[in-house]
């Protein structure tokens, strides 16, 4: 019954309403949202969505040199300002947002009806917003591809929970062929749900998904521990199937991160493809690094690591349990 209890707990996490949780809480994600709208010839409106970021009190430091703040003409901007430029904003212009954040998602609406939504990384207490990434100009698709490839790789390499799940698979599976099949199943599964969620085919409630991801690591850790006692479950007989099922769940986690970052409206398939390729590149690099360490460490080290497998399983499960309880409050809006 214990193995079914884990599955029930994960289903409960996914089914629990999370409407009270803020999907784009700046305190949690360190990512703010900003709107840039062209409201007339050479006139623009910059408005800040998140009240948690500092107000833009010095427009001159934000705007290009040939732009200046103007009266908002009754637009009633809650946070932000209107501005006018000597010439139209072009691909060479940059807005400099004075926030010490991981990044900012800028949603642009241009006078010709086109638009874009792009993530810009923060650096040294500022967030440079390159207008070339928001305008459809030659080379912009290459910039989108490169940006989202890097973001995908960084998300998997900095997303410790996803890496620990992959580590758990490496500890559980024995033999190169089963390992390749298991990692491939995990890859295919999270690619499916990532794409389906981005295109609106699967509803996304971030808080219960993150809690369920932590529970999936706890379950995997338990299987690592009982395997050393000679207990054989479905997880040990068909690890690729378990990897596929939980890969669907982890794909929703990737989709939540991509939702925070945003996708350029003019190149959604391209950005999604390269974000996913970045995730796969980061995951493959992690697996190859661990396999290389295992190969070159020698038999003495490898033998002791195998003996320590239950200890590693307990450590993995303890950490994931801590994450699970830390992720419960947002489900109830805490």
**Mean pLDDT across 144-172:** 84
26-70: pLDDT as tens digits: 655 678 888 898 988 889 999 887 777 888 888 899 999 899 988
Per-residue pLDDT of 59-113, as tens digits, reads 899 999 899 988 765 555 567 888 999 988 887 889 999 998 888 888 888 887 7
Beta-carbon contacts of 290 under 8 Å, excluding residues fewer than 6 positions away, are: 167, 170
| In the predicted structure, residue 159 carries a pLDDT above the cut 90 | no
pLDDT number for residue 49? 79
202-213 pLDDT, tens digit per residue, is 877 778 888 888
H/E stretch holding 215 reads helix 206-227
- If you average pLDDT over every residue of the chain, what do you get? 79
**Exposure of 91 in the CB half-sphere (CA atoms within 13 A):** 9
The pLDDT of residue 74: 57
Nearest to residue 278, comparing CAs of 101, 176, 159? 159
Least confident of 124-133, 180-189, 322-331: 322-331
Separation CA 271–CA 274 (nearest Å): 5
Residues whose CB falls within 8 Å of the CB of residue 264, separated by 6 or more in sequence, listed in order: 116, 117, 118, 133, 144, 271
**Tokens 């009754």 belong to which residue?**
74
Alpha carbons 325 and 198: distance in angstroms, whole number: 28
- As a whole number of angstroms, the distance between CA 294 and CA 216 comes to 25
Task: Point out which residues pair with 15 in neighbouring strands.
Answer: none
Report which of residues 2 and 174 the model is more confident about: 174
Position 28 scores a pLDDT of 56
Name which of 6-15, 288-297, 324-333 the model is least confident about: 6-15
Does residue 24 surpass a pLDDT of 60?
Answer: no
Q: Per-residue pLDDT for 230 more than 60? A: yes
What is the percentage of the chain residues whose pLDDT exceeds 70?
A: 81
pLDDT digits (tens, 9 = 90+) for 250-305: 888 888 877 777 777 667 888 888 888 988 888 888 888 877 877 776 655 555 65
How is residue 53 annotated by DSSP?
Answer: S
Taking the C-alpha atoms of residue 45 and residue 77, their distance in angstroms, rounded to an integer, is 9
SS3 content of the chain, % helix, strand, coil (to 5): 60, 15, 25
Residues forming beta bridges with residue 34, ordered by sequence position: 48, 106
Question: Element (H or E) spanning 83, and its range?
Answer: strand 80-85
At 197 the pLDDT is 87
Q: Supply the pLDDT for residue 27.
A: 57
Query: What's the gap between Cα 265 and its chain centre?
Result: 18
pLDDT of residue 63: 92
Query: How many CB atoms are closer than 10 A to CB 85?
Result: 18
**Two tokens, residue 333:** 């809006």
Confidence of residue 12 (pLDDT cuts 50, 70, 90): very low
Task: Please determine, for residue 249, whether its predicted confidence score (pLDDT) is greater than 70.
Answer: yes
| Predicted local confidence at residue 139, as pLDDT | 54
Residue 285: HSE in the Cβ half-sphere, 13 Å Cα cutoff: 12
CA torsion angle for 251, 257, 259, 260 (degrees, to 10)?
170
User: For residue 13, is pLDDT > 60?
Assistant: no
Given a cut of 50, whether residue 237 has pLDDT beyond it is: yes
- Quote the pLDDT of residue 5: 43
């Amino acid at each position: 019954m214990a193995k079914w209890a884990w599955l029930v707990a994960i289903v409960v996490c996914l089914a629990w309403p999370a409407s009270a949780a803020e999907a784009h809480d700046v305190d949690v994600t360190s990512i703010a949202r900003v709107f840039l709208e062209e409201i007339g010839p050479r006139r623009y409106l910059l408005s800040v969505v998140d009240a948690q970021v500092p107000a833009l009190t010095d427009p001159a430091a934000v705007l290009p040199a040939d732009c200046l703040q103007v009266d908002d003409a009754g637009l009633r901007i809650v946070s932000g300002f209107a501005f006018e430029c000597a010439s139209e904003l072009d691909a060479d212009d940059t807005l400099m947002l004075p926030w010490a954040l991981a990044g900012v998602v800028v949603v642009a609406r241009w006078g010709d009806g086109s638009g874009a939504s792009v993530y810009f990384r923060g650096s040294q207490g500022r967030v440079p917003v390159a207008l070339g990434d928001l305008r459809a100009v030659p080379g912009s698709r290459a910039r989108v591809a490169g940006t989202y490839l890097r973001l995908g790789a960084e998300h998997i390499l900095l997303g410790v929970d996803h890496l620990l799940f992959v580590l758990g698979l490496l500890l559980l599976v024995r033999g190169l062929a089963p390992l390749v099949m298991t990692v491939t199943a995990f890859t295919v599964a999270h690619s499916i749900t990532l794409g389906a969620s981005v295109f609106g085919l699967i509803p996304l409630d971030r808080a219960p998904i993150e809690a369920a991801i932590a529970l999936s690591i706890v379950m995997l850790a338990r299987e690592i521990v009982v395997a050393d006692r000679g207990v054989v479950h479905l997880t040990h007989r068909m690890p690729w199937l378990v990897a596929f099922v939980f890969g669907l769940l982890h794909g929703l986690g990737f989709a939540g991160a991509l939702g925070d970052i945003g996708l350029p409206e003019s190149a959604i398939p391209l950005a999604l493809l390269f974000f996913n390729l970045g995730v796969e590149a980061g995951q493959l690099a992690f697996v190859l690094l661990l396999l290389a360490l295992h190969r070159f460490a020698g038999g003495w080290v490898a033998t002791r690591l195998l003996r320590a497998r239950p200890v590693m399983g307990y450590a993995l499960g303890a950490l994931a349990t801590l994450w699970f309880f830390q992720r419960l409050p947002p489900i109830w809006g805490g």
